[in-house]
Homo-oligomer: A and B are copies of this chain.
Amino acid sequence: MTWVGASSEPLLPAVGPPPTERSDAARNRARVLEVARGLVAAEGVAGITMDRVATESGVGKGTVFRRFGSRAGLLRALLDDTEREFQGRFLSGPPPLGPGAPPLERLVAFGRERIAVLSTQSELLRASAVPDENHYAVPARRVAALHVATLLRQAEVPGDVPVLAFELLAVLEAILTAPPGARPPIDRLADGWEQLVRSLDRPV
């Protein structure tokens, strides 16, 4: 059986560490991605052009092209970077998302943050010409499924935990598969997530 959540393999980062590189190159890369992330947050993916990213990060346009290849390449790098940053926050960041809060509060926070991250990721996926959505979703889902299953066990939610984790992740990932405009607003999705998760915790 290969579905995620049934496995007991160690929890590894889905997208791996950033490639090793010279420190000035690494700084440039980080600056470009930070600027790109800010533009997406403020204006959506449409706000990103190679010119603008180069100007606002103070990195030469030629360098930006050499490093990322194309606008689609930059968007794919941003997709990976966003995922890695999110994994860092839920695995080792501050509570309630990271360790230290009660497991159920972490699960509520995980879904709320995941919904926000996936609403950005779904826009990046559509714009970055990733050949197959599963290319992104499968490794990202593996880490998320193990995290959700772990929190359900810690919260002592009864039932078939790997299956519940699979089903709860499907709730979050509906954002990736729903066409734009074909889903509820993310704040209402987040409240719905919280209701589902808190319901599971009530005594039978």
Contact = CB atoms under 8 A, between A and B. Distances in A.
Contacts of A189: 163, 166-167
B178 A3 contact: yes
Copies of this chain assembled into the complex? 2
Given A3-B184, A167-B171, A184-B3, A200 B192 contact: no
A164 interface: yes
Contact of A191 (B160, B179, B181, B202): B160
Interface size on A, as a range, is: 35 or more
A126 interface: no
Contacts of A163: 184, 188-189, 191-192
Interface of A: 1-6, 134, 138, 159-160, 162-164, 166-167, 169-171, 173-174, 177-179, 181-184, 188-189, 191-193, 195-196, 199-200, 202, 204
A-B CB proximity, top 7 nearest: A170-B174, A199-B199, A163-B192, A167-B171, A163-B188, A163-B184, A159-B195
Given A164-B195, A166-B174, A196-B196, 19 more contacts: A5-B184, A159-B191, A160-B188, A160-B191, A160-B195, A163-B192, A164-B192, A164-B196, A166-B189, A166-B192, A167-B171, A167-B174, A167-B193, A167-B196, A170-B171, A170-B174, A171-B171, A173-B174, A196-B199
